[in-house]
Homo-oligomer: A and B are copies of this chain.
Amino acid sequence: MLKVETLTSPRNPLLMDVRRAARAGSLTENGCCLAESFHLLDEILRGDCRVEVVLASQSASTEVQLRLRTRPAVRMAVVPDRLFDAVAATEASQGVMVLVRPPAWTLEHVFGKLPLVMVLDGIQDPGNAGAILRAAEAFGASGLIFARGTVSPYNPKAVRASAGSVFRVPLVQGLAAEEIQAGFTRGNLTVYASVPKQGQAVHVADLARACAVIIGSEGRGVSDRLREGTTALHIPTASVESLNAAMAAGIVLYEAQRQRGGRP
């Protein structure tokens, strides 16, 4: 039988920690990620991640209990609606928030057996980051690197846009350029930098080999420091300057899947 607590004080340390993480778009003090929707709750329950606690608004508590009926060991806490809304990151919240401990991956996991690594370099929009995570899983990337200065993959909006992929695809975050480059050298990866017009067209570049593709932010592109020693890669387009960063990443991944013969 599921044991349900009730948290009613805005000064409750757990709720204060959640609120801070929601505002900062980051992990909680003790390293948990906020996932805010019933869809994500279902995705998480299907996976291997450790759930610390599921918070439910009073209004949504029956529905949340129903979803947790086969998981009596999960800690669940009900929070009054107004307090829940004050704590949540989402504006139109569904009344459910999962605190989940994301898997601890290393670069070795990210590289996998045949590396196809997407590097996010300075992308700030959590929706774009989430869409890239989702496409990375969809097209069989080995993993992702979130370079230092990039939005957190555990930003609640990125988590939502990833539709749960953030908990399944190997990723590391916060790495400095030198650490990333040292990793590429160790793994003997060919490194491409995605740019608007120069270099090889994406369908000509060899993405079947062990490789990484760096996607820069839309404003500044790939940083000079990470661009060193890479091969420029572009998506041929008819007329516009560049594509949305997530769109560019998705097309590179689609093309890589085609070249690798990995179509299901």
Contacts and interface: CB of A to CB of B under 8 A. Distances in A.
Interface stretch (A8-16, A81-89, A176-184, A238-246): A238-246
Contacts of A262: 238
A229 interface: no
A239 B127 contact: no
Contacts of A154: none
B264 A238 contact: yes
A238 B239 CA distance: 31
Contacts of A264: 236-238
Interface in A225-243: 235-241, 243
Interface string A172-206: 00000000000000000000000000000101000
Interface residues of A, number: 34
Instruction: Pick the most buried of A235, A237, A241, A246: most chain B CB atoms within 10 A of its CB.
Output: A237
A135 B249 CA distance: 13
Interface string A116-136: 000000000001000100110
Contacts of A135: 243-244, 247
A236 B168 CA distance: 19
A135 to B, nearest CB: 6
A165 B247 contact: no
A235 to B, nearest CB: 7
Given A258-B203, A263-B201, A134 B240 contact: yes
29 contacts: A131-B244, A134-B240, A134-B244, A135-B243, A135-B244, A137-B238, A137-B239, A137-B240, A138-B239, A138-B243, A139-B237, A140-B239, A161-B244, A165-B240, A203-B263, A236-B263, A236-B264, A237-B264, A238-B257, A243-B250, A244-B250, A246-B246, A246-B247, A247-B247, A247-B250, A250-B251, A251-B254, A254-B254, A254-B255
Given A138-B235, A236-B263, A246-B247, 18 more contacts: A131-B244, A134-B240, A134-B243, A134-B247, A135-B244, A137-B239, A138-B237, A138-B240, A161-B244, A165-B240, A201-B263, A203-B263, A237-B264, A238-B262, A247-B250, A250-B251, A251-B251, A254-B254
Interface of A: 127, 131, 134-135, 137-140, 161, 163, 165, 168, 201, 203, 235-241, 243-244, 246-247, 250-251, 254-255, 257-258, 262-264
